[in-house]
């Protein structure tokens, strides 16, 4: 959503990805996002809806991690696996709201209607 539609602008921040501190900046741009390995900056389009933002954020983090861990440009078709992974994780997060937070805190996941419960 754009600010014109009443959405507050997301503040910039810094995240740690491996050995690197990566600045996350929300900017006007034509693409969804980008990772700049020279400046260690993730730029994300400031006008994305929340779930598209979440997918883009994960996508660019995976590009940063690929760079930090030496996996960039190794014939691994980085764009495809980054896009698949970020989309899959965002899909699960959206379809099971809060499940990762509950799992991290040791919460009861059996209450989640769509959670797979074994044993
Ligand atoms: Zn990409």
- Give the model's pLDDT for residue 1: 45
Q: Look at the pTM and tell me if it is higher than 0.75.
A: yes
Distance 87 CA to ligand 1 centre (A): 11
pLDDT band of residue 115 (cuts 50, 70, 90) is low
Statement: residue 87 has pLDDT above 80: yes
Question: What is the CA(58)–ligand 1 centre distance, in A?
Answer: 10
SS3 of 48, please?
A: coil
**DSSP result, 52-112:** HHHHHHHHHHHHHHHHHTT-TTSSS-HHHHHHHHHHHHHHHHHHTTTHHHHHHTT--GGG-
Q: Quote the ligand 1 centre to 65 CA distance (angstroms).
A: 12
The ranges assigned to domains in the chain are 13-113
Higher pLDDT, residue 5 or 83? 83
Query: What's the token pair of residue 63?
Result: 């590009």
Q: For residue 114, name the pLDDT band (cuts at 50, 70, 90).
A: low
Q: For residue 34, report the distance from its CA to the centre of ligand 1, in Å.
A: 7
Q: How far is the CA of 64 from the centre of ligand 1 (A)?
A: 10
pLDDT digits (tens, 9 = 90+) for 43-58: 999 999 999 999 999 9
């Amino acid at each position: 959503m754009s600010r014109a539609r009443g959405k507050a602008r997301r503040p910039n921040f810094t995240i740690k990805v491996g050995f690197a501190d990566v600045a996350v900046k929300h900017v006007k741009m034509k693409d969804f996002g980008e990772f700049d390995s020279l400046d260690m900056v993730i730029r994300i389009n400031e006008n994305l809806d929340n779930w598209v933002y979440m997918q883009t954020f994960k996508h660019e983090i995976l590009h940063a991690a690929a760079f930090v861990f030496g996996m960039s440009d190794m014939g691994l078709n980085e764009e495809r696996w980054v896009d698949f992974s970020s989309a899959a994780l965002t899909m699960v997060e959206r379809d099971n709201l809060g499940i990762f937070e509950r799992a991290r805190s040791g919460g009861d996941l059996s209450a989640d209607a769509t959670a797979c419960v074994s044993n």
